[in-house]
Amino acid sequence: MSQEQQTPDSVPSVDGMPRLGLGTWQNTDPDQCRESVQTALETGYRHVDTAQAYDNEVEVGDGIAAADVDRDDVFLATKIWTDNLSYDDVIHTARESLNRLGVDYLDLLYVHWPSGEYDAEDTLAAFAELYDDGLIDRVGVSNFLPEQVREATEVCDAPIFANQVEMHPLLPQEDLQACAEREDVNLVAYSPLARGRVFDVPEIQAVAKKHNASAAQVSLAWLLEKGATPIPKATSEDHIRDNWSSLSIELDEDDIETIDGIDRQERQVDPGFAPW
């Protein structure tokens, strides 16, 4: 493992998005949420991800405000929930999210799922308006299949910047990787540790031992090698720092081949309204 210390300026980015973020799904204890966001930013993270459905936008905003980091140096993303995807509701609830987060703009706003009130033309027209008005810098989609990504890029007047999906060594999402490259859309990986299941995978354990690293670090480094931006959830300082150190892991071709050879497909997030 490289011993190079990562600093915020040395974190890889794509089109202004730092390629390692802090996820906040299920981080619902108010004090813990505020503290984890503040700790992550003061560790060096510059990408924080939340959503209306997480019910923690206020605490995420408080953590950003408490950190010794300028707001403009933080890449902040949230998501519009399925009940709020009509044109008027997108406009209204996006402004509510801004107020809860205590910010004037969002770096990235996602359609959380292509379900509920989602209608590609109606929903994305509202996103384009928010983009034109300067309230959001980038438009994103989440949990979209390749054909839905293609439709979004065709109908939205603003560029589709990212598709946030579950992705990890047990769900490598090859079709979505190909789609992202074809449509010039970035992949953001949620649940990048398969909710802890990667820790017990022999192939990942072997690569981790080789690099004197944790299984989490190896899994995140693999995602980075695949061109994805992982956003692992972490609440304790130890886990926040452990995930951060994945930026110093340099996997070789044998490591990638070993992890690619894992013969498992295990989706962790599979609600009844999912498009697959």
Residue 54 falls in the annotated catalytic set:
yes
Between CA 34 and CA 218 the distance in angstroms is 27
Tell me what pLDDT residue 6 has: 62
Residue among 179, 230, 172 nearest 45 (CA): 230
Tell me what pLDDT residue 8 has: 64
Mean pLDDT by 10 residues, the chain (276 residues): 52 93 97 98 97 98 98 98 98 98 98 98 98 98 98 98 98 97 98 97 98 98 98 97 96 98 95 97
Give residue 89's identity as a one-letter amino acid code. D
CA-angle at 162, arms to 159 and 164, nearest 5°? 150
Tell me what pLDDT residue 7 has: 63
Tell me what pLDDT residue 2 has: 34
Which of 54, 118, 131, 190 is catalytic? The answer is 54
Residues 6+ apart with CB under 8 A from 16: 75, 107, 137
Beta carbons of 251 and 225 less than 8 angstroms apart: yes
Tell me what pLDDT residue 130 has: 98
Beta carbons of 87 and 122 less than 8 angstroms apart: yes
Given the structure tokens 């140096």, which residue do they identify?
73
Tell me what pLDDT residue 9 has: 64
Tell me what pLDDT residue 12 has: 87
Q: Pairing between strand 75-80 and 47-49?
A: parallel
